[in-house]
Structure 1
Amino acid sequence: MELQERVAVPIFTEVDRDVFLNEVYPGRSPAVLRGVDLGPCVDRWTVEYLAMKGGQREVKIHVSSVPQMDFLHKNFIYRTLPFDEFVKKAAETKHSDFFLAEEESYYLRSLGEDVRKEPADLSRQFPDLAEDFHTPRYFEPDRFFSSVFRISSCGLQLWTHYDVMDNLLAQVTGRKRVALYRPQDALHLYLNGDKSEVLDIDAPDLKRFPEFIKAKRYDCVLEPGDLLFIPALWFHNTLALHFGVGVNIFWRHLPADAYDKKDPYGNKDPVAAARALQTLERALHALDELPAEYRDFYGRRMVQRVQNRTYCHNSESETTLPRSLSHKPGRVSKDL
């Protein structure tokens, strides 16, 4: 099988606010930030400690009989458990008491108090645990959108998707593999909304998804205490190499009114983009009134106009790594 091009995500150390804003952030590419102080959570968040601090607060979780979760076809069910019971089950490899199968996998993505209106916030849903976690101050406080608490069973793999806000994935405990794809490769990922239809990225069905091989893959393995900067619109797929706990911090890097105000998850397309996509649908319906050869001709003209108006043709858009990686070699490592 033809091999997909792979690139190692660069690793930065000694990343304070100035280094992040001047060397990492301008590149608009993923970067692992190692050695950042996340607080005592890295040492404290054992299964027993989490169960004690989280208590019996009920949480809604994903349960799947297979570790490769598929959001598009919903190969999982939702269940509600007390947090302390969930944590203990997620840390197990086999279960004597189960919903679907003895080796079922569990996944928690925390939600706001009012799931339809409020974004997740670690300090509100799990205030005792939030005291252990230090949010990196890489952005202005008024730009903060959400802090999402995530816990997953060993081996759990989440579908490839993108988010519309910048975010930091803090891997507090356990190791996690993350594969990322740049926004420019969206046409190779067989999108259904914000998610890719290619579920198995390691052994893709190239008869169904022949273009997928053209997407350049960026790889990293997060160690406990690592941060991963994921710029908005970068696709990402995660695989838990161990039972793991993490926190995602999302922030608004566009003006606040650019985002859908009724979106507590932070994954709806920006208002202008959603409006443009709706307009496109109306244009396509209009073309349906024409004979096939006319639809083909005017469709190609539309594609050309979209490319000319929106595609980034400068060298920056094709850069695979930030230019700053060539500077200050003591701060950057390419080892995974």
Structure 2
Amino acid sequence: MCQKQNLRTNISVKTGRNYVIRKTTFNDYVSDLKAENARARSSYMAVQNLKQTFPQIEADVPLPDYVGKLHLGPYMWVALKGHYEFCHIDPDDNFLVMIQGRKQVRLFGCDLRPMYPNPKGSKGKTIQAQVNCDNPALERFPEFRNATCYHCVLDPGDMLFIPAFWWHQVTSLDTSISVNIFFGDAGDNKYFSKILSSSQWPAFSYWFLNIIEQNRNHASFPRILARLPEVLHHFFLKQWHEIITPDQIQILVQLVLDYLCLDSLPTVEDRSKYPPPLKIRGLMWR
């Protein structure tokens, strides 16, 4: 890896379990890993898009033929031995591939209650559990004892499928390099239809309303609500490359109305050609 890649490539790393973004170079980060110093122990090179950050090695990570539709990635992750990644859910199906070292993965299904998700409005694209899986503090999170955990260790060359909206917690057992891709089903509407009709729907609803709450106190929110069907069309076209149907849009509109305790969408004067975007706020927090 180091011999093939430009070591001066700028990367972002996350610091600690409550993440802070720090800019560095790949060369300096690898030097910290080799030294196993304090900065390496509290840093994690996460979500580095190969096409943008490491284009020299993008061809080394071919997409499997059975990936229906790429949503995001491939991404590279590099972590020191012992790194603990918070338990969270992603809105996309996911393949995690080990390149070097080993990772322990815990999967908990998509039930929200035993995992105590962070409150709606939390930053980022993922939903994080409040529970520390290594030390769950059952007096604060008693329902966690009812969670079913699927456990595995990934060795180099192993690939794990993580379904969308399944809770997962990953720990590096060795200093490790891994790659992942976020994807969905082929076609214009298969992925959303799958989520809508599956046990993943409650977790999806929480994720979606978290994004609604992220936008609630912004000046554009009244216009978002006034043009919500258009907003949702553009949002899922961007996120999942899906064209959701009018009936599906109405389900989401009703979900928002119920959440905000509204009988109907407001009317706001907006003559712009395109509706305001529904933004995922705090993407650097993932």
TM-score of Structure 1 vs Structure 2, range by shorter chain: 0.5 to 0.7
Partner-residue secondary structure (3-state), 2:23: strand
- Shift of residue 249, structure 1, vs aligned partner: 0.9
2:138 aligned with 1:206: yes
2:179 aligned with 1:238: no
Q: Which one scores higher on RCO, CA 8 angstroms, separation ≥ 6?
A: 1
User: 1:170 — aligned with what?
Assistant: 97
User: 2:11 — aligned with what?
Assistant: 59
- Shift of residue 262, structure 1, vs aligned partner: 4.8
2:81 aligned with 1:154: yes
User: 2:67 — aligned with what?
Assistant: 139
Verify the 8 A CA contact 2:79 2:176 in the aligned structure 1: yes
- The one-letter amino acid paired with 1:173 is Q
- Shift of the 242–225 alpha-carbon distance from structure 1 to 2, 3 Å rule, reads same
User: 1:5 — aligned with what?
Assistant: none
Cα-to-partner distance string for 1:150-195 (whole Å, 9 max, x where unaligned):
1112111111111121110011111000001111x22111112521
- Shift of the 255–209 alpha-carbon distance from structure 1 to 2, 3 Å rule, reads farther
Cα-to-partner distance string for 1:19-58 (whole Å, 9 max, x where unaligned):
xxxxxxxxxxxxxxxxxxxxxxxxxx4xx43xx5142111
CA distance in 2, matches of 1:93, 1:271: 50
Verify the 8 A CA contact 1:90 1:105 in the aligned structure 2: no
Verify the 8 A CA contact 2:102 2:154 in the aligned structure 1: yes
- What's the TM-score, normalizing by structure 2? 0.63
- Shift of the 110–188 alpha-carbon distance from structure 1 to 2, 3 Å rule, reads closer
- Shift of the 145–263 alpha-carbon distance from structure 1 to 2, 3 Å rule, reads closer
Partner-residue secondary structure (3-state), 2:81: coil
Verify the 8 A CA contact 2:104 2:172 in the aligned structure 1: yes
Cα-to-partner distance string for 1:101-140 (whole Å, 9 max, x where unaligned):
xx632212235xxxxxxxx4x2343121223233322224
CA distance in 2, matches of 1:237, 1:253: 24
- The one-letter amino acid paired with 2:82 is G
- Shift of residue 77, structure 1, vs aligned partner: 2.2
- The one-letter amino acid paired with 1:79 is R
Verify the 8 A CA contact 2:71 2:239 in the aligned structure 1: no
C-alpha RMSD of matched pairs (Å): 2.7
User: 2:221 — aligned with what?
Assistant: none
Partner-residue secondary structure (3-state), 1:281: helix
CA distance in 2, matches of 1:159, 1:272: 34
Verify the 8 A CA contact 1:165 1:253 in the aligned structure 2: no
- Shift of the 92–76 alpha-carbon distance from structure 1 to 2, 3 Å rule, reads farther
Verify the 8 A CA contact 2:67 2:184 in the aligned structure 1: no
CA distance in 1, matches of 2:253, 2:159: 34
CA distance in 1, matches of 2:251, 2:154: 32
- Shift of residue 233, structure 1, vs aligned partner: 1.3
User: 1:77 — aligned with what?
Assistant: 20
User: 2:210 — aligned with what?
Assistant: none
2:42 aligned with 1:94: no
User: 2:41 — aligned with what?
Assistant: 104
CA distance in 1, matches of 2:32, 2:249: 40
Partner-residue secondary structure (3-state), 2:112: helix
- Shift of residue 238, structure 1, vs aligned partner: 0.4
2:175 aligned with 1:248: no
2:155 aligned with 1:223: yes
Verify the 8 A CA contact 2:70 2:182 in the aligned structure 1: yes
CA distance in 1, matches of 2:252, 2:170: 27
Verify the 8 A CA contact 2:81 2:174 in the aligned structure 1: yes
- The one-letter amino acid paired with 1:207 is E
- Shift of residue 254, structure 1, vs aligned partner: 7.2
- Shift of the 275–179 alpha-carbon distance from structure 1 to 2, 3 Å rule, reads farther
1:38-53, aligned counterparts within 5 Å? 45=1, 48-49=2-3, 52-53=4-5
Cα-to-partner distance string for 1:269-317 (whole Å, 9 max, x where unaligned):
x97776454223223x78xxxxxxxxxxxxxxxxxxxxxxxxxxxxxxx
- What's the TM-score, normalizing by structure 1? 0.55
* Gapped regions of structure 1 (runs ≥ 5): 1-44, 70-74, 112-119, 265-269, 287-336
CA distance in 1, matches of 2:100, 2:253: 40
- The one-letter amino acid paired with 2:178 is G
CA distance in 1, matches of 2:34, 2:57: 18
* Gapped regions of structure 2 (runs ≥ 5): 121-126, 193-234, 241-247, 264-286
CA distance in 1, matches of 2:108, 2:254: 24
